[in-house]
Amino acid sequence: MNGLILCTKECNLRCKYCFEESMHDGCMQSANEIKQNFSVFLDKYFDKFITELIAINNSLGRKETDVTFHGGEPLLVGAELLEKGFQMVNKHPNTTIGIQTNATLITEEIINLFKKYDIRVGVSIDGPQHIHDAYRHSIAKKGSFEKVYNNIRKMQHEKVFVGALATVTDITVKTPEEFYKFFRDNKLDFSFNPCFTDPNQPSSYNVLNVNEYIEFYKQMFDLWINDEDSELPITCFDRIISAMSVKSSPYMEVCTFIPDCSRTTVAINTDGEFYRCLHYCMDRKNMIGHLEYDNLKKALGDTCFSKRWSVMKTKECANCDIQEFCCGGCPYVSESLNGDIISRPDTCVSQQAIVHYIYEYLSTFIKFGRSDEK
């Protein structure tokens, strides 16, 4: 089980499509308040969280425990408290540390911390400047690309592992080749996710058309698979190919497309409340438990989530020929759109289209077969 730390719900950006905008009450906490809350969390709850998370993973036979510092924007807590958190994780063997950041607050001190503790850094960047700056704004409504890009280059120069996560919008889909070349030319491992309709997204976002996204997805695959001069990984493609041709069971190694996410991820905020994932942290009614009086194992194997796929595959997904490559999609998206996790999210059509597209491509090289075929 992976541990996600909501270091703060606050962020120094105001991205026009961000689902977390509903977490902001209009008045941002001061820097001192952010740091004070995180400091109390480290002293009161963090060691218990790590210890119980490791115990869960040991019970699941997992060799490593991954902890990711997240937000909001985690760098708002400052270098001193981040280092204290890294030290608390690092004292346990077989742990890895990641951080997901918008990279606008990177300093030389932060880079040195990343190097010292071997931190895997994920950066949110949406591609070239005109694409990125269309939606990823500062509080002052200015584009953030220049600062983000320059800080990525600084981290790469210092040999910090940096990967990227891009959000595909109505603007991105118009220029797939430019988008692909940006990441390839900057040697930036990346994955991308579509920005479809979500009840928590601000009205300032122009909804992404699913058919345009499917065409974009296919063009991206063609650009990537036919690029003989690059070994750039694109995680979303790697997962599908691995599921088709390498793994014994086909579901993806990502929480969005697995049978039971209640065994893979838990998120905690600075109040000690733990949730299924960061999406669910937006509403306290979704709280699973509190470290003040609950053991973290309460988050493992939630009955509703663990039974979801067994129900979905015989009902909503019964006639879907890629059901094992999707497992009903993300429960959060399903619930936020339809009011029930036992329902299909709005990513189904695009997932089906790209799995078919990749399957047809690989079929020219590989003869697929299933273990239950005679």
- 283: pLDDT strictly greater than 80: yes
The per-residue pLDDT for range 180-199, each reduced to its tens digit, is 999 999 999 999 998 875 55
Q: What backbone torsions phi and psi does residue 69 show, to the nearest 5 degrees?
A: -85, 125
Q: Which domain holds residue 218?
A: 2-233+264-268
User: Who wins on pLDDT, 249 or 273?
Assistant: 273
The per-residue pLDDT for range 18-37, each reduced to its tens digit, is 866 555 556 789 999 999 99
User: Who wins on pLDDT, 254 or 49?
Assistant: 49
Asked if residue 297 is part of any domain, the answer here is no
What is the mean predicted confidence (pLDDT) over 272-285?
Answer: 91
Question: Going by DSSP bridges, is the β-strand pair 273-275/265-269 parallel, antiparallel, or unpaired?
Answer: antiparallel
Confidence category of residue 206, pLDDT binned at 50, 70, 90: confident
CB 234 within 8 A of CB 241: no
Task: Output the CA torsion 148→152→158→160 (10° steps).
Answer: 120
Asked if residue 295 is part of any domain, the answer here is no
Asked if residue 31 is part of any domain, the answer here is yes
CB atoms within 10 A of CB 3: 27
Return the CATH number at 134. 3.20.20.70
Return the bridge partners of 249, or none.
none
Q: State the chain's mean pLDDT as an integer.
A: 90
- The segment with the largest mean pLDDT, out of 117-131, 244-258, 320-334, is 117-131
Q: Which two tokens stand for residue 255?
A: 């929480």
Asked if residue 307 is part of any domain, the answer here is no
Asked if residue 77 is part of any domain, the answer here is yes
CB atoms within 10 A of CB 86: 20
Confidence category of residue 156, pLDDT binned at 50, 70, 90: very high
Count of structural domains within the chain: 1
Burial of 279-289, coded b for 16+ CB within 10 Å and e otherwise, reads bbbbeeeebbb
Map residue 190 onto helix, strand or coil: strand
Confidence category of residue 163, pLDDT binned at 50, 70, 90: very high
- 273: pLDDT strictly greater than 50: yes
Residue type, 182: F
Q: Which two tokens stand for residue 11?
A: 């962020």
The per-residue pLDDT for range 339-369, each reduced to its tens digit, is 899 998 888 899 999 999 999 998 887 665 5
Calculate the alpha carbon distances from 315 to 61, 86, 259, 322, 351 in Å. 32, 45, 15, 14, 18
pLDDT for the residue 88: 98
In whole angstroms, give the CA distance from residue 281 to residue 314: 30
Sign of CA dihedral 170, 165, 253, 279: negative
Asked if residue 211 is part of any domain, the answer here is yes
For the chain, report the end-to-end CA distance as a whole number of angstroms: 36
Q: Which of the residue ranges 65-69, 198-202, 206-210 would you say has the lowest mean pLDDT?
A: 198-202
Asked if residue 365 is part of any domain, the answer here is no
User: Who wins on pLDDT, 205 or 270?
Assistant: 270
**Helices marked H in the chain:** 31-41, 47-59, 79-90, 108-116, 129-135, 145-157, 176-185, 210-225, 235-245, 303-312, 331-338, 348-363
Asked if residue 250 is part of any domain, the answer here is no
- 239: pLDDT strictly greater than 60: yes
Q: Which of the residue ranges 150-154, 181-185, 240-244 would you say has the lowest mean pLDDT?
A: 240-244
What is the mean predicted confidence (pLDDT) over 288-317?
Answer: 92
